[in-house]
Amino acid sequence: MLSIQRLNMDNTWWLYWGETSLLLDPWLIGSEVDGFSWFNEQWHATPPVPLTELPYYQFIAVSQPYSDHCHAKTIALLSKDAKLLAVAPAKKRLIKELNNNHITEIPDLKNGFVSIGNLKIAKLSPNRLIDPIYHALIIAHGNELIIYAPHGFHLSNDQLKLLAGYSIKLLITSISYFYLPPPLGGIINPGLEGAKQLMNHLQPQHWVNTHDEIKHAKGIVIKLAKRFYPELDEIKEHNFIALADYQPIQL
Protein backbone atom coordinates (compact mmCIF):
# COMPACT_ATOMS: atom_id res chain seq x y z
CA MET A 1 0.00 0.00 0.00
CA LEU A 2 1.27 3.47 -0.97
CA SER A 3 0.22 6.52 1.05
CA ILE A 4 0.90 10.04 -0.20
CA GLN A 5 0.28 13.46 1.32
CA ARG A 6 0.93 17.01 0.21
CA LEU A 7 2.81 19.01 2.82
CA ASN A 8 2.59 22.29 0.94
CA MET A 9 0.60 23.24 -2.13
CA ASP A 10 3.77 23.41 -4.19
CA ASN A 11 6.31 20.59 -4.26
CA THR A 12 6.76 19.06 -0.80
CA TRP A 13 5.47 15.50 -0.23
CA TRP A 14 5.31 12.72 2.33
CA LEU A 15 5.34 9.16 1.04
CA TYR A 16 4.85 5.92 2.93
CA TRP A 17 5.48 2.76 0.93
CA GLY A 18 6.64 -0.67 1.89
CA GLU A 19 6.97 0.34 5.58
CA THR A 20 9.37 3.15 4.62
CA SER A 21 8.49 6.85 4.95
CA LEU A 22 10.19 9.85 3.42
CA LEU A 23 9.87 13.55 2.73
CA LEU A 24 10.48 14.95 -0.74
CA ASP A 25 11.90 18.47 -1.17
CA PRO A 26 10.75 19.92 2.17
CA TRP A 27 10.10 23.68 2.09
CA LEU A 28 7.79 24.38 5.02
CA ILE A 29 8.84 27.72 6.53
CA GLY A 30 9.64 31.20 5.28
CA SER A 31 10.48 32.28 1.76
CA GLU A 32 12.79 30.82 -0.85
CA VAL A 33 15.43 33.01 -2.48
CA ASP A 34 17.34 32.29 -5.67
CA GLY A 35 20.64 34.12 -5.35
CA PHE A 36 19.31 37.48 -4.18
CA SER A 37 15.83 38.62 -3.15
CA TRP A 38 15.85 41.31 -5.85
CA PHE A 39 16.31 38.52 -8.40
CA ASN A 40 13.72 36.06 -7.09
CA GLU A 41 11.99 35.59 -3.74
CA GLN A 42 8.79 33.59 -3.31
CA TRP A 43 6.39 32.66 -0.51
CA HIS A 44 3.70 30.04 -0.23
CA ALA A 45 0.23 31.42 -0.89
CA THR A 46 -1.27 28.65 1.28
CA PRO A 47 0.43 27.89 4.63
CA PRO A 48 2.18 24.50 4.60
CA VAL A 49 1.64 21.76 7.14
CA PRO A 50 3.30 22.95 10.39
CA LEU A 51 6.56 21.27 11.34
CA THR A 52 4.95 20.08 14.56
CA GLU A 53 2.26 18.22 12.59
CA LEU A 54 4.44 16.33 10.12
CA PRO A 55 3.78 12.60 9.78
CA TYR A 56 6.57 10.25 10.80
CA TYR A 57 9.46 10.10 8.31
CA GLN A 58 12.70 8.14 8.18
CA PHE A 59 14.33 9.72 5.13
CA ILE A 60 14.53 13.13 3.43
CA ALA A 61 15.25 13.32 -0.31
CA VAL A 62 16.22 16.50 -2.17
CA SER A 63 15.83 16.44 -5.95
CA GLN A 64 17.25 19.82 -7.03
CA PRO A 65 19.76 22.38 -5.67
CA TYR A 66 17.34 25.34 -5.93
CA SER A 67 15.85 26.87 -2.79
CA ASP A 68 12.25 25.84 -3.44
CA HIS A 69 13.47 22.21 -3.32
CA CYS A 70 16.67 22.46 -1.30
CA HIS A 71 15.43 24.68 1.55
CA ALA A 72 18.18 24.59 4.13
CA LYS A 73 16.22 26.49 6.81
CA THR A 74 13.49 23.88 6.74
CA ILE A 75 15.89 20.93 6.63
CA ALA A 76 17.81 22.31 9.62
CA LEU A 77 14.64 21.99 11.72
CA LEU A 78 13.73 18.46 10.67
CA SER A 79 14.42 15.29 12.63
CA LYS A 80 18.11 14.58 13.06
CA ASP A 81 17.22 10.88 13.10
CA ALA A 82 16.09 11.02 9.47
CA LYS A 83 18.70 10.12 6.87
CA LEU A 84 19.29 12.91 4.32
CA LEU A 85 19.81 12.13 0.63
CA ALA A 86 20.34 14.59 -2.21
CA VAL A 87 21.41 14.86 -5.82
CA ALA A 88 25.04 15.96 -6.16
CA PRO A 89 24.57 19.76 -6.54
CA ALA A 90 22.02 19.84 -3.69
CA LYS A 91 24.37 17.79 -1.51
CA LYS A 92 27.14 20.31 -2.16
CA ARG A 93 24.87 23.19 -1.22
CA LEU A 94 23.61 21.52 1.96
CA ILE A 95 27.13 20.66 3.12
CA LYS A 96 28.00 24.35 2.78
CA GLU A 97 24.83 25.81 4.30
CA LEU A 98 24.25 23.28 7.07
CA ASN A 99 27.83 22.14 7.70
CA ASN A 100 26.49 18.61 7.35
CA ASN A 101 28.76 15.98 5.86
CA HIS A 102 26.36 13.09 6.54
CA ILE A 103 24.44 13.32 3.29
CA THR A 104 24.07 10.39 0.91
CA GLU A 105 24.34 11.26 -2.77
CA ILE A 106 21.48 9.98 -4.93
CA PRO A 107 23.10 8.11 -7.86
CA ASP A 108 22.06 8.24 -11.47
CA LEU A 109 19.83 5.33 -12.43
CA LYS A 110 22.41 4.11 -14.96
CA ASN A 111 24.71 3.49 -11.99
CA GLY A 112 22.10 1.71 -9.89
CA PHE A 113 20.03 2.55 -6.82
CA VAL A 114 20.82 3.34 -3.19
CA SER A 115 18.66 1.70 -0.51
CA ILE A 116 16.31 3.66 1.77
CA GLY A 117 14.70 1.20 4.15
CA ASN A 118 13.08 -1.43 1.97
CA LEU A 119 12.84 1.00 -0.94
CA LYS A 120 15.52 2.10 -3.41
CA ILE A 121 16.13 5.56 -4.91
CA ALA A 122 18.02 6.95 -7.91
CA LYS A 123 17.83 9.96 -10.20
CA LEU A 124 17.41 10.64 -13.89
CA SER A 125 19.63 13.40 -15.26
CA PRO A 126 18.60 15.51 -18.25
CA ASN A 127 20.60 15.71 -21.45
CA ARG A 128 21.62 19.28 -20.69
CA LEU A 129 25.04 20.68 -19.81
CA ILE A 130 24.15 24.16 -18.52
CA ASP A 131 21.88 25.32 -15.70
CA PRO A 132 19.10 25.12 -14.93
CA ILE A 133 19.36 21.34 -14.77
CA TYR A 134 16.28 19.60 -13.40
CA HIS A 135 16.47 16.00 -12.23
CA ALA A 136 13.76 13.41 -11.71
CA LEU A 137 13.79 10.96 -8.81
CA ILE A 138 13.01 7.26 -9.14
CA ILE A 139 11.76 5.43 -6.05
CA ALA A 140 11.47 1.65 -6.36
CA HIS A 141 9.61 -0.96 -4.37
CA GLY A 142 10.23 -4.30 -5.99
CA ASN A 143 9.17 -3.97 -9.61
CA GLU A 144 7.08 -0.84 -9.05
CA LEU A 145 8.28 2.76 -9.33
CA ILE A 146 7.31 6.25 -8.27
CA ILE A 147 8.69 8.89 -10.65
CA TYR A 148 8.96 12.38 -9.19
CA ALA A 149 9.63 14.98 -11.91
CA PRO A 150 8.64 18.37 -10.46
CA HIS A 151 9.89 20.25 -13.53
CA GLY A 152 8.75 17.67 -16.04
CA PHE A 153 11.29 15.53 -17.84
CA HIS A 154 12.22 14.52 -21.37
CA LEU A 155 13.21 10.85 -21.33
CA SER A 156 16.02 9.70 -23.60
CA ASN A 157 15.91 6.35 -25.36
CA ASP A 158 18.55 5.03 -22.97
CA GLN A 159 16.48 6.11 -19.97
CA LEU A 160 13.36 4.51 -21.41
CA LYS A 161 15.34 1.27 -21.74
CA LEU A 162 16.41 1.50 -18.09
CA LEU A 163 12.77 1.89 -17.06
CA ALA A 164 11.52 -0.91 -19.29
CA GLY A 165 10.18 -3.84 -17.31
CA TYR A 166 9.12 -1.71 -14.35
CA SER A 167 5.52 -0.85 -13.54
CA ILE A 168 5.00 2.86 -12.84
CA LYS A 169 2.85 3.04 -9.73
CA LEU A 170 2.75 6.85 -9.55
CA LEU A 171 3.97 9.81 -11.62
CA ILE A 172 4.31 13.14 -9.78
CA THR A 173 4.93 16.02 -12.19
CA SER A 174 4.01 19.62 -12.93
CA ILE A 175 1.12 20.70 -15.14
CA SER A 176 1.90 24.44 -15.12
CA TYR A 177 3.84 26.28 -17.82
CA PHE A 178 6.61 28.62 -16.66
CA TYR A 179 8.96 30.29 -19.14
CA LEU A 180 11.86 32.72 -18.72
CA PRO A 181 14.09 34.31 -21.37
CA PRO A 182 16.81 31.78 -22.35
CA PRO A 183 19.65 33.45 -20.39
CA LEU A 184 17.57 32.90 -17.25
CA GLY A 185 16.54 29.35 -17.95
CA GLY A 186 14.06 29.05 -20.82
CA ILE A 187 11.25 26.56 -20.11
CA ILE A 188 11.20 25.93 -16.36
CA ASN A 189 7.97 23.90 -16.29
CA PRO A 190 6.77 22.40 -19.60
CA GLY A 191 3.06 22.58 -18.79
CA LEU A 192 0.21 20.18 -19.28
CA GLU A 193 1.48 18.98 -22.66
CA GLY A 194 4.79 18.01 -21.08
CA ALA A 195 2.94 16.09 -18.37
CA LYS A 196 0.85 14.28 -20.98
CA GLN A 197 3.99 13.35 -22.92
CA LEU A 198 5.52 11.83 -19.79
CA MET A 199 2.31 9.99 -19.04
CA ASN A 200 2.19 8.58 -22.56
CA HIS A 201 5.76 7.30 -22.27
CA LEU A 202 5.37 5.85 -18.78
CA GLN A 203 1.74 4.72 -18.66
CA PRO A 204 1.52 5.20 -14.86
CA GLN A 205 -1.21 3.58 -12.80
CA HIS A 206 -1.81 7.01 -11.18
CA TRP A 207 -0.47 10.53 -11.57
CA VAL A 208 -0.74 13.72 -9.55
CA ASN A 209 0.45 17.26 -10.14
CA THR A 210 3.13 19.10 -8.20
CA HIS A 211 5.06 22.40 -8.24
CA ASP A 212 1.98 24.31 -9.46
CA GLU A 213 1.24 26.66 -6.57
CA ILE A 214 0.64 30.26 -7.63
CA LYS A 215 3.01 31.69 -5.08
CA HIS A 216 3.54 35.23 -3.85
CA ALA A 217 6.69 36.54 -5.50
CA LYS A 218 8.89 39.55 -6.08
CA GLY A 219 11.99 40.25 -8.14
CA ILE A 220 13.17 40.20 -11.76
CA VAL A 221 12.14 36.60 -12.40
CA ILE A 222 8.44 37.10 -11.79
CA LYS A 223 8.43 40.27 -13.91
CA LEU A 224 9.92 38.44 -16.90
CA ALA A 225 8.12 35.13 -16.52
CA LYS A 226 5.37 33.86 -18.79
CA ARG A 227 3.07 31.62 -16.76
CA PHE A 228 0.02 29.50 -17.42
CA TYR A 229 -1.83 27.38 -14.86
CA PRO A 230 -4.46 25.01 -16.28
CA GLU A 231 -7.62 24.30 -14.33
CA LEU A 232 -7.71 20.83 -12.86
CA ASP A 233 -11.02 20.14 -14.56
CA GLU A 234 -9.22 20.52 -17.90
CA ILE A 235 -7.46 17.22 -17.18
CA LYS A 236 -9.58 14.33 -18.37
CA GLU A 237 -7.23 11.39 -18.00
CA HIS A 238 -8.73 8.66 -15.85
CA ASN A 239 -5.65 8.13 -13.72
CA PHE A 240 -5.16 11.76 -12.63
CA ILE A 241 -5.57 12.40 -8.88
CA ALA A 242 -6.60 15.93 -7.88
CA LEU A 243 -5.22 16.52 -4.38
CA ALA A 244 -6.48 19.94 -3.37
CA ASP A 245 -5.76 19.68 0.38
CA TYR A 246 -3.39 18.11 2.87
CA GLN A 247 -5.30 14.92 3.54
CA PRO A 248 -3.30 11.71 2.93
CA ILE A 249 -4.64 9.19 0.46
CA GLN A 250 -3.84 5.55 -0.22
CA LEU A 251 -3.18 4.03 -3.63
Best CA proximity match to 139, nearest among 161, 171, 164, 165: 171
Reported as a pLDDT band with limits 50, 70 and 90, residue 248 is: very high
The per-residue pLDDT of the chain, averaged, comes to 95
Reported as a pLDDT band with limits 50, 70 and 90, residue 16 is: very high
Q: Per residue in 184-243, pLDDT tens?
A: 889 999 999 999 999 999 999 999 999 999 999 999 989 999 999 998 778 888 789 989
**What dihedral angle (degrees, nearest 10) is formed by the CA atoms of 176, 180, 186, 191?**
10
Q: In what order do the strands lie in the sheet with 136-141?
A: 114-116, 119-124, 136-141, 144-149, 167-173, 206-209, 240-241
Best CA proximity match to 152, nearest among 64, 84, 40, 239: 64
Q: What percent of the chain has pLDDT over 90?
A: 86
Q: Per residue in 120-167, pLDDT tens?
A: 999 999 987 777 899 999 999 999 999 999 999 999 999 999 999 999
Residue-level pLDDT at 232: 79
Alpha carbons 89 and 87: distance in angstroms, whole number: 6
pTM: 0.96
Task: Count CB atoms within 10 A of the CB of residue 147.
Answer: 23
Residue-level pLDDT at 127: 86
Reply yes or no: is the peptide bond before residue 132 cis, omega within 30 of 0: yes
Residue-level pLDDT at 87: 98
**Is residue 54 over pLDDT 90?**
yes
3-state secondary structure of 124: strand
Alpha carbons 127 and 73: distance in angstroms, whole number: 31
Residue-level pLDDT at 66: 95
Mean pLDDT of 29-46: 92
86 vs 100, more confident: 86
Alpha carbons 119 and 17: distance in angstroms, whole number: 8
Alpha carbons 229 and 191: distance in angstroms, whole number: 8
Question: Residue ranges of the domains in the chain?
Answer: 2-250
Task: Provide the CB-side half-sphere exposure for 192 (13 A, CA).
Answer: 12
Residue-level pLDDT at 83: 98
3-state secondary structure of 42: strand
Best CA proximity match to 103, nearest among 113, 111, 93: 93
Alpha carbons 153 and 201: distance in angstroms, whole number: 11
Does the domain made of 2-250 have the CATH classification 3.60.15.10? yes
Burial class, 136, CB count within 10 angstroms (exposed 0-12 / middle 13-18 / buried 19+): buried
Lowest mean pLDDT among 31-45, 84-98, 101-115: 31-45
Taking a C-beta distance cutoff of 8 angstroms, is the pair 67, 91 a contact? no
